[in-house]
Chain A
Amino acid sequence: MNGGAVGTGEAIVFWVSGTLAVIGALGMVISRKAVHSALFIALTMINLAILYVANSAPFLGMVQIIVYTGAVMMLFLFVLMVVGVDSSDSLIETIKGQRVAAFLLGVGFSILLIAGIGNGLMETSSTGLDAANAAQGGNVEGLAALMFGPYLIAFEVTAALLITAAMGAMILTHRERWMPKRTQRELSQERFASGAHPGQLPAPGVYARHNAVDTPALLPDGSTSDISVPEPLRVRDDIREVDPAEIDEVRQLSADSSGEDDGR
C-alpha cells in the first residue's frame, strides 16, 4: 500500500499462492471429471484466501474459506457425489460454434471487467490501509462499520434474496406426506399389540444348505420354518422344498451337538 514495497515473505507467499491459484483455475476448466474440477476450484479458493490474509484482510480470507470452500464447494461436491460418482463431461459440441462463442464472450467480459475496475480505480484516491483501519480501531471493526452502516440496505436485501432462494428450493423439493409419519413409539406399540413375534424373522440358520430367498430356515428339531421366507413368496407358495435327507442330517447334527453339551 505504501509505495509498492513488498517484503520477501510476502513475495514468496504471492508467487507460491498465486501460482497454485492459477493452476487450480486451469485445472478446473481442463479436468474431465466433475469432482476433480470441484477440487481444483477449492484449491483456487484456498489460495485466494491466503492472498487475502497476506494483504492484511484476515477476516475476508477466513470468511472466504468458511463460506466458499467449507460450505458452497462442499455442497457442490455433495450434489456431484449424489448425482453420479463417475460423471464426466462430454467434449462433443451440442451447439455449433459454442467454443468460439464462449471464448469471445470470455475475452469480452475480461476487457469489460478490467476497463471498469481500472476506470474506477483511476478516479478513486487511496487512503491507505493503515488509515482506513485506524478509523474504526481495526480491520474487522472497519468492515462491520461499513457493512452495517452505509451498506446496510444492500446487505439486508442480499440476505433476503438468499433466504428467498433457499425457501424456493425447499418448496420445489417439498413432498406432501399422504399420511402422518408414525413415530418410533407408535410403531413399536403396534408391533407388540398385534401379538405377533416382535423380533427378527428366522435366518437360514446354522444348518442352512442354501441361502436363496425361497429356501426356508431349518430349525434344529428338523422342521422347516415358513416365516423365514418373504411374505410375497410365501403367499404364492413359492417355498422351495427341502430334501428330507438334509432334514434328517440336521436333526442328527443338532442331536450330536446337544449331546456334547450335555457331556460337558
Chain B
Amino acid sequence: MTDGQFGLFGTDPWWLVIGKAVAIFGLLVLLTLFTIWWERRVVSRMQNRIGPNRVGPQGLLQSLMDGFKLALKEEVIPKAAHLGVYWIAPVISATAAFIAFAVIPFGPTVSVLGVETPLQLTDFPVSVLYVLAIASIGVYGLVLAGWSSGSTYPLLGGLRSTAQVISYEIAMGLSFVAVFIYAGSMSTSEIVVAQQPIWFAVILLPSFLIYVTSMVGETNRAPFDLPEAEGELVGGFHTEYSSLKFALFFLAEYINMVTVSALATTLFLGGYLAPWPLSLWEGANSGWLPVVWWLIKVQLFIFVFIWLRGTLPRLRYDQFMKFGWKVLIPAALVWVVIVSIARLFRNDVALSNTELLFIGAVIIATLLGGSWLLSARANRKEQRRLDAEAENARRVNEVLTGAATGHPVPPLPGQRFEYTPRRATVTTAEVSSSQAIDADAQEDPHG
C-alpha cells in the first residue's frame, strides 16, 4: 500500500466500522425514499401535474407508505420459475447495490467520539475498480431474474440488460482512465484530494460527458431503460416478481442511481470539496461541513436523471447499441490517447520546432487521408443505394408467385401479391341455387 491517505484507513476501532456501515445503510435507504418522492414530484412538475402531496409534509412520506404496502402484498411465484435462482437474484441485486458504497468518500477526516477517522468506510489502491467490479456482479441479479422467471419477456429483458451493461461498462471504464492518469491513483480518497485546485470535470470534460452518458445506460434509466421497456417487454426482467422481491429490485435501482451519482461526484466534481467561491473560505473543506457539499452534488446528478426521464423518449434498441459501440467507445478511446500524449509531452518530452512541425504534418495527413476514405465510402454507399433502387424499380408490378402453390410468403420490395382465390364467398341463400353461382364464380371469383 502507498503511504499518506491510507494511513488512517484500517485503523478504526470495531465499533466505528460497524457504525459507519450502519450509517451508510441508513443513508442509502433514506436517500432511496427521498429520491422516489423527489422523482415523482419533479416529473409531475415537468408534466403539469402536482404529484404525491398527501402523506406527510409535501407528500414526503409517500414512498415510505408505498414501501410498506409493497412489502405486505401477496407474493406470486410462477410455476415455471427455477426456485433457487429466482430467490437469490433480487438478493444479489440489492446486496451489490449496497456494498458498492463502501469506498465512496463523504467527507474529510473528522473526529468521532475522540477518534480521528475519514468519513468513508474503507479505501484501498484500486477502489474505483472495486465499484466497477461490484456493479458487474449486480448485473447477475438482473440476468438471473430474467432467466429464472421461466417466462419470455423477463428473459428478453435479462438479455437486454446484459448486453446493455457490458457495452456501457466499457465506455465507463475508459472514461476513468483519464482521471487515473491525472490523479495518479485509483483510490477514491486520493482522487478527491487530487482535485484540490480544479475539478476533473473541467479539465477532463470529454471524460465527464462520456461517464455521465454511460452511467445512465449502466443504471437502466430513461432514456436507456430498454430492459424494462413497458411497451415492448411488459416489466422487463422483473415482470414475474412481486412483493418484497420486487421491492428489492426497486431499491437496487435507486441505490445504483445514488452510487453512480456519488462516483461521478467523487471522480469529476471534487467529491466533498467545496465548490469554487466557497472553497476560498478556509473552513469550507474541514469538519462535517463537506458532507453537505457532497450531498448537494449527488442530488444534482439525481436531478439530471429525473430531468432526462421527464424530457427524452426511450431510444430504439439498435440505435442505443450503435451509440454505445460506435460513438461512445471510440470517442473514449480517442480521448484517452489524446490525454496520454498530452501527459507524456508535459512530463518527459522536450521537442524542437522541427519535430513539432513534423508531428503536426503527420496528424494533418492522417486527418486528410481519413476524410478522403470516409467520402469514398459514402460515395460507394450512395451507389449501392441507387443500384438497389434500380433493382426495385425493375421489380415493380412483377407478380409474387409463391402464394399460388405454397405458403403465402411476403413479397420482395416492389413485387405485388398475386390474386389466388382459395374460398369463394358463398352465402347460405346462394347455396340453394348452386348451379348458377358456379358459373358466376368462374367468371368473377371476387363474388
A residues at B contact (CB < 8 Å): 35-36, 39, 42, 46, 49, 58-59, 62-63, 65-66, 69-71, 74-75, 77-78, 81-82, 85, 133, 137-140, 178-180, 184, 231-232, 235-239, 241
Contacts and interface: CB of A to CB of B under 8 A. Distances in A.
A140 B2 CA distance: 10
- The secondary-structure label for the interface of chain A is helix
B136 A237 contact: no
A39 B85 contact: yes
B315 to A, nearest CB: 12
A70 B147 CA distance: 17
A78 B126 contact: no
19 contacts: A35-B85, A58-B124, A59-B126, A65-B134, A66-B129, A66-B133, A66-B173, A69-B137, A71-B166, A74-B139, A74-B166, A78-B159, A81-B146, A82-B159, A137-B2, A232-B410, A235-B418, A236-B420, A237-B425
A36 B166 CA distance: 21
B137 A232 contact: no
Contact of B419 (A178, A179, A236): A236
Interface in B371-419: 381, 384-385, 388, 391-392, 403, 408, 410, 413, 417-419
Interface residues of B, number: 54
A77 B143 contact: yes
Contact of A85 (B147, B408, B417, B418): B147
B388 A179 contact: yes
Given A140-B125, A180-B384, A232-B403, A65 B159 contact: no
Interface string B403-447: 100001010010001111111110100000000000000000111
Contacts of A71: 136, 166, 169
Nearest to A65: B133
A240 to B, nearest CB: 10
A212 to B, nearest CB: 14
A234 to B, nearest CB: 9
A69 B141 CA distance: 13
A75 B125 CA distance: 28
Given A231-B417, A237-B424, A138 B136 contact: no
Interface string B114-156: 0000000000111001101111110110011011001000010
A59 B159 CA distance: 29
B162 interface: yes
Contacts of B417: 231-232, 235
Contact of A75 (B134, B166, B186, B418): B166
Contact of A58 (B126, B134, B135): B126
Contact of B408 (A46, A81, A232): A232
B113 interface: no
Given A85-B147, A178-B388, A184-B316, 14 more contacts: A39-B144, A63-B129, A65-B134, A70-B133, A70-B166, A71-B166, A75-B166, A81-B155, A179-B385, A232-B417, A237-B422, A237-B424, A237-B446, A239-B425
B1 interface: yes
The 5 closest A-B pairs by CB, nearest first: A70-B136, A179-B388, A65-B133, A62-B129, A232-B408
A184 to B, nearest CB: 8
Given A70-B169, A180-B381, A236-B420, A241 B133 contact: no
Contacts of B447: 237
Most chain A CB within 10 A, of B133, B150, B417, B446, is at B133
Nearest to A49: B133
Contacts of A85: 147, 150, 155
A201 to B, nearest CB: 16
Most chain B CB within 10 A, of A49, A58, A178, A239, is at A58
